[in-house]
Structure 1
Amino acid sequence: MKLALISDTHVADRAVAFTDNLRATLDDIRREQCDLIIHLGDITADGIRDPAEFGQAKALFAHAPAPVLFLPGNHDIGDNPLSGEANRAAETQFDPRRLDQYRAVFGADYWSVAVNGWRLLGLNAQLFGSGTPDEAAQFAWATAEAATDEPVVLFLHKPLVLESPADTPVHPRYALPAARDRLLELFAGTDVRLVASGHVHQRRRKPIAGVDHLWTPAVAFVIPDHMQERIGEKQTGYVILSLVGAEHNLRFIRPPGVSDHSLSDFPEVYPELREE
């Protein structure tokens, strides 16, 4: 079983360069003959501000070479509340209305799939800390799913940890600590082999407490060092996850035709980046 893991496509009709990278990526996934595509969030350039981008993004996946399972990111349905941080702009905070619109276009925002003796669990990290009935429903669902005796891969937009739960700061880059700790407790007795996330726009693979943690690279762009410290590899692309028996293998792919666009070069997509 070959799964293509993609993340942070940031597509919209107005984001032509990012859309070109996605098209080249989907062409390469077709050549690789992957069985399933999993999108780890930030599908749209800014669906949280303009939900019309949901339809624009979905149209690009209409002819994808394999079925696609989507997860939402902060640019799609908004970001988590962060204790100790100045209030985030209201239009970029988690919005339950956007979640409803997301579901109408992309389907379930968390899901469970059984393949080849494995259990694939997709989590909506943007619900963490929202205090909504949807957050409670997801945790109830995760509690039931954690009872599986199959090996598990967890997928979510934000990384659970930096180096370990003990030293991961409260930061918009990572899952909220209270929600992360609750998840780790839920799955403590489960055979979790891999945690795959996006969001950081860097590629990194690191074993943490006996579990493989993957940061999937972005498809759309990298974030320059003056805007974000370098922790992993800053290069666009995607990852192929192969499930063979009880083993999993990861392979980074740099598709032909994909460019390492720099976020700072696109103020027309993100006007807040314009220098005064």
Structure 2
Amino acid sequence: MKKDSDFSPLKIAIMSDPHLSMTNDLHYKQWQYALNHAQKEDHDIYLVAGDLSEAGSKEEFELFQESIESINKPILYVPGNHDLGNKKLTGNEGEIDSTKIKNYRKNLGADFHAQNFFGIDFIGLNSQLFSSGLQEEKDQLLFFESQLASDAPKIIFMHAPLFVTDPKEAGGVYWNAEIEARIRLLQLLKDRPVLAVISGHLHRLVVNYTDILFISAPALSFGLPDFTLGLGYLTLNISPSNIHFNLQQIPRINK
């Protein structure tokens, strides 16, 4: 895979699923602990892979914005299902729709975006749009295709992973992208200078490697009991010749 060598070594904090809530201050305390820890570790840039809030309310979005005001480095984030609805599967009220997207954009800005820092394109996607059939999905796909056209090295981040263990695994479940959208997106990534694809959503650390590194970060709110290694975030160290990551564990705060 072609990678542009014109960038300096970079230290990235990858965080996910803070689930900030007006009724559960323990999530907020754990989130603040993680942010303080990451600042002491002197990361160059922060990526937050969705589920910023618990219920997608204006008050929770404001709480998230206030919580990151002290970060003096670039911090990029994307929405998750708790921020604007689950992926479309059954037509239930809790699934993504244009009204929820407008609410998110009004309070937190673009739900998909791209910026270049340190010579790397950071492309944030709204994974809830995949297979939604919404106009916003078409807009995002056109945007994504245009961003992939450049030869700059890229890190792509989203909330739900394209797949959990196998690119050919079945869809129709809560945890991954539907297979048609997944195949289309993976095909777009083929032979492009993609350093890593980052996600969250699973509330546990999952790492896959095809010809691209796929990482799902653990949560900072709660883990899944059967799989969790505890709460934490990832430090991703990238240089032109190497990529490696460390798990930074965060204690559970009970009071």
TM-score, reference length from structure 2: 0.89
**d(CA) in 2 for partners of 1:9, 1:238:** 10
Superposed displacement of residue 67, structure 1: 2.7
What residue number does 1:42 align with? 51
Question: Mapping of 1:1-276 within 5 angstroms?
Answer: 1-47=10-56, 50-82=57-89, 87=90, 89-90=92-93, 92-207=94-209, 209-225=210-226, 230=227, 233-255=228-250, 258-259=251-252
70-79 vs 165-174, which deviates more? 165-174
Cα deviation, residue 89, structure 1? 4.2
Structure 1 position 151, deviation (Å): 2.5
The answer to whether the 8 A contact 2:58-2:107 is kept is: no
Aligned residue-pair number: 245
| Cα distance in 2 between the residues matched to 1:57 and 1:191 | 32
Decide whether the 8 Å contact of 2:26 with 2:253 is kept in 1. Answer: no
Contact 1:235–1:260 under 8 Å retained in 2: no
1:44–1:76: 8 Å Cα contact kept in structure 2? yes
Question: Contact 2:219 / 2:232 at 8 angstroms: preserved in 1?
Answer: yes
Q: Quote the Cα distance in structure 2 between the aligned partners of 1:132 and 1:17.
A: 35
User: Structure 1 residue 246: deviation in Å?
Assistant: 4.2
Partner Cα distance (1:61, 1:25) in 2: 11
Q: Counterpart amino acid of 1:17?
A: L
How far does residue 62 in structure 1 lie from its aligned partner after superposition? 2.0
Q: State the identity %.
A: 28
SS class of match (1:119): strand
Question: Deviations 1:37-63 (Å, cap 9, x if unpaired)?
Answer: 11100000111xx33321122222222
Task: Classify the secondary structure of the residue corresponding to 1:237.
Answer: strand
Alpha-carbon distance, 1:139 to partner: 0.3
Deviations 1:200-257 (A, max 9, x none): 00012221x22111110000111223xxxx3xx43210011222234322111114xx
**Per-residue deviation, 1:77:** 0.3
Q: For residues 163 and 120 of structure 2, what CA distance do their matches in structure 1 show? A: 23
Which piece of structure 1 moves more, 106-115 or 4-13?
106-115
In 1, Cα distance between equivalents of 2:59 and 2:81: 16
Distance between the aligned counterparts of 2:193 and 2:118, measured in 1?
15
Quick one: distance in 1 between partners of 2:103 and 2:220? 24
With 117-126 and 24-33 compared, the bigger mean Cα shift is at: 117-126
Shift of 1:125: 0.4
Return the alpha-carbon distance in structure 1 between the equivalents of residues 82 and 44 of structure 2: 27
1:120 offset after TM fit, Å?
A: 1.8
* SS of 1:64 mapped into structure 2: coil
Could you say what the CA RMSD is over the residues aligned between the two structures, in angstroms?
Answer: 1.8
Structure 1 portions without partners, runs of 5+: 262-276
**Could you tell me how far apart the structure 2 residues matched to 1:38 and 1:181 are?**
25
Query: What does residue 6 of structure 2 align with?
Result: none
Q: CA shift at 1:23, angstroms?
A: 0.7
Q: CA deviation at 1:79?
A: 0.9
Partner amino acid for 2:36? D
Q: 1:217, 1:88 → 2: CA distance?
A: 29
The alpha-carbon deviation at position 101 of structure 1 amounts to 2.0
Partner-residue secondary structure (3-state), 1:148: coil
TM-score by length of 1: 0.83
Higher relative contact order (CA 8 A, sep 6+): 2
